[in-house]
Chain A
Amino acid sequence: MSSGSPDTELACTVRVVLPVHLRALAGVGREVQVDVRGPVTAGSVLSRLEEQYPMLRGTIRDHDTLRRRPFVRYFACEQDLSHDPDNTPLPDPVASGAEPLLIVGAMAGG
Chain B
Amino acid sequence: MASVRVLVGTHKGGFILTADGSRNEWEVSGPHFPGWDVYHMQASPVDPDRIWASMSGGWFGQVVQRSDDGGATWNPVGNRFAYDGEPGTHLFYDGTPRPFAFTRVWHLEPSLTDPDTVFAGVEDAALFRSTDGGQEWAELPALRQHRTAAQWQPGAGGMCLHTIILDPSRPERIYTAISAAGAFRSDDDGTSWTPINQGLRSEGIPDPAAEVGHCVHRLALHPSRPDTLFMQKHWDVMRTDDAGTTWREISGNLPTDFGFAIDVHAHEPDTVYVVPITSDYHHFPLDGRLQVWRSRTGGDEWEPLSRGLPQKDCYVNVLRDAMAVDSLDSCGVYFGTTGGQVYASSDAGDSWSAIARDLPAVLSVEVQTLA
- The B-contacting residues of A in range 53-69, CB under 8 angstroms, are 55, 57-60, 63-64, 69
B247 CB within 8 Å of chain A: no
Among the listed B59, B63, B76, B82, which residue makes an inter-chain contact with A106, where contact means beta carbons less than 8 Å apart? Answer: B59
Contact across chains for A58 and B61 when beta carbons are under 8 A apart: yes
Residue in B59, B61, B63 whose Cβ sees the most chain A Cβ within 10 Å: B59
In the bound complex, do residue B79 and residue A58 qualify as a contact, i.e. CB atoms below 8 Å apart?
A: yes
Instruction: List 10 contacting pairs A-B, 8 Å CB cutoff, sorted by A.
Output: A24-B34, A25-B60, A55-B76, A59-B79, A63-B82, A69-B59, A69-B60, A72-B59, A110-B57, A110-B58
Q: Count the A-B residue pairs with Cβ separation under 8 angstroms: how many?
A: 47
B63 touching A108, Cβ below 8 Å: no
**Complex interface: chain A residues within 8 A of B80 (CB):** 57-58, 63-64
Specify which chain B residues have a CB less than 8 angstroms from the CB of A64 in the assembled complex: 80, 82
The stretch that binds B, out of A14-22, A29-37, A78-86, is A14-22
Contact A71 B59 (CB under 8 A): yes
Are the CB atoms of B62 and A19 closer together than 8 Å?
A: no
Q: Does B175 sit at the interface, judged by CB under 8 A?
A: no
Does B352 have its Cβ within 8 Å of any Cβ on chain A? no
Interface string of B20-45 (1 = CB under 8 A from A): 00000000000001111000000000
Given contacts A21-B60, A25-B63, 7 further A-B contacts (CB under 8 A): A19-B60, A21-B35, A25-B60, A58-B61, A64-B82, A106-B59, A110-B58
Q: Which B-chain residue is minimally distant from A22 (CB atoms)?
A: B60
Q: Which 10 A-B residue pairings sit nearest by Cβ, starting from the closest?
A: A55-B76, A59-B60, A105-B59, A63-B80, A71-B59, A58-B79, A71-B58, A59-B61, A58-B61, A21-B60
In the complex, chain B residues whose CB is within 8 Å of the CB of A71: 58-59
Bound state CA distance, A69 and B60, in angstroms?
7
CB distance from B86 to the nearest CB of A (A): 14
Q: Are A21 and B61 in contact (CB under 8 A)?
A: no
Interface SS, A side: loop
> For residue B61, which residues in chain A have a CB less than 8 angstroms away from its CB?
58-59, 69
A interface residues, Cβ below 8 angstroms from B: 19-22, 24-25, 55, 57-60, 63-64, 69, 71-72, 105-106, 108, 110
What residues of B have a CB within 8 angstroms of the CB of A55 in the complex? 63, 76
Query: Given that A20-B35, A21-B35, A21-B36 are known contacts, is A58 also in contact with B62, CB under 8 Å in the complex?
Result: yes
CB distance from A36 to the nearest CB of B (A): 22
- Interface pair B79/A108, CB less than 8 Å apart: no
Contacts of B79 in A (CB 8 A): 57-59, 63
Q: Name which residue of chain A comes closest to B62, CB basis.
A: A58
Contact of A25 among B58, B76, B82 (CB under 8 A): B76
How distant is B158 from chain A, measured CB to nearest CB, in Å?
A: 16
Chain B 57-92 interface 0/1 with A at a Cβ cutoff of 8 Å (1 = within): 111111100000000000010011010000000000
Inter-chain contacts of A105 with B (CB < 8 A): 59-60
How far is the CB of A56 from the nearest CB of chain B, in Å? 9
Q: Chain A residues near B57 (CB, 8 Å)? A: 21, 110
B35 adjacent to A59 (CB under 8 Å): no
Q: How far is the CA of A25 from the CA of B57 in the complex (A)?
A: 13
Contacts of A108 in B (CB 8 A): 58-59
B309–chain A nearest beta-carbon distance, Å: 30
Within the assembled complex, what's the spacing in Å between the Cα atoms of A20 and B36? 11
A88 to B358, CA, bound (A): 47
- The docked-state distance in angstroms from the alpha carbon of A67 to that of B60 is 12
Using Cβ atoms and an 8 Å threshold, which residues of chain A touch B76? 25, 55
CB of A25 to closest CB in B, whole Å: 6
